[in-house]
Amino acid sequence: MKTLIVNEKYDNKKLINFIKDSFPELSLNVLNKALRNKDIRINNVRTRENIVIHKGDTISVYITDEFLYKNINLEKVYEDDNILVINKPSNIEVVTLTSNEKTLTTLLKKNYEFIEPCHRLDRNTTGLVLFAKNQITLDILLQKFKNKEIKKFYKCMVYGIPHKNSDTLEAYLFKDTKKSMVYISDIPKTGYKKIITSYEVIEKDIKNNTSILSVTLEFSGRTHQIRAHLAHVNLPIIGDGKYGINSINKKFNKKTQELCSYKIVFNFSTDSRYLKLFN
């Protein structure tokens, strides 16, 4: 059984739309059969109708995982006694606190006594995710991220050709949790946090007006920072349905953002205890 809480986006929307968006791999045939069998409850009341739901409703789905999720084969990039690096595929969260859906972390917990992520990627951002295999390692690595002693590099395809081959962008970001959106300002504003994003051009395609960039977060690493910051300077990531341009996404037939975490660099300058071999 999976439990979902209806958010504002689906207030006064049909039940089936909410469930299908929550479980993209679930077929309509299986969903309709579950409704006929009253295997879906709303606020603990069984239903067989595609009724309107409301914000705050609790939806209980009695459908087995084999129908809710596709099989995911996780690629291990590196592993030792203390850390694990996974190449995350698209369409899966690293971890979530809002429901009991299958995540990268829950998949790994089936095979590890202790496994916790040291950072996150957006659901449809692919690439390297660093996990700690014990509490001491987790504490060390979280501190290293805080001290900027671990640096993540991202590769993305954007629409547009930057005027400079490399640049460091500074701005201010505001997170709207209700809309699950962030907004960028060039000047300080109440509630906005400073961000610094650097990029370097790897490839240019003048004919298609696209570029491939290597991007790093020099300051903060806030929600959707790369996606929103690049869009703010007229370099939207192709395939980004939230901050990109729909007509451009359709032109290149991309439904998810072309953004990948492709490199993690350890540069320990403070005590790293038994992880000192990474120096």
DSSP, collapsed to helix, strand or coil, labels residue 268 as coil
- Written as one string, the DSSP assignment of 94-131 is S--SS-----HHHHHHTT-SS-EESS---TT-EEEEEE
H or E element, residue 30? helix 28-36
CB 58 within 8 A of CB 47: no
CA of 51: how far to CAs of 18, 44, 143, 153, in Å? Answer: 11, 14, 48, 45
DSSP, collapsed to helix, strand or coil, labels residue 191 as coil
CB 115 within 8 A of CB 172: no
User: Is residue 122 annotated as part of the catalytic site, yes or no?
Assistant: yes
Query: What six digits make up the tokens of 214?
Result: 């290597």
Query: What six digits make up the tokens of 233?
Result: 């300077």
- From the list 122, 176, 186, 205, the catalytic residue is 122
Phi, psi of 251, rounded to the nearest 5 degrees: -60, -40
Q: Residue 98: which region, alpha, beta or left (left: phi > 0; alpha: psi -120 to 50)? A: alpha
State the catalytic residues: 122
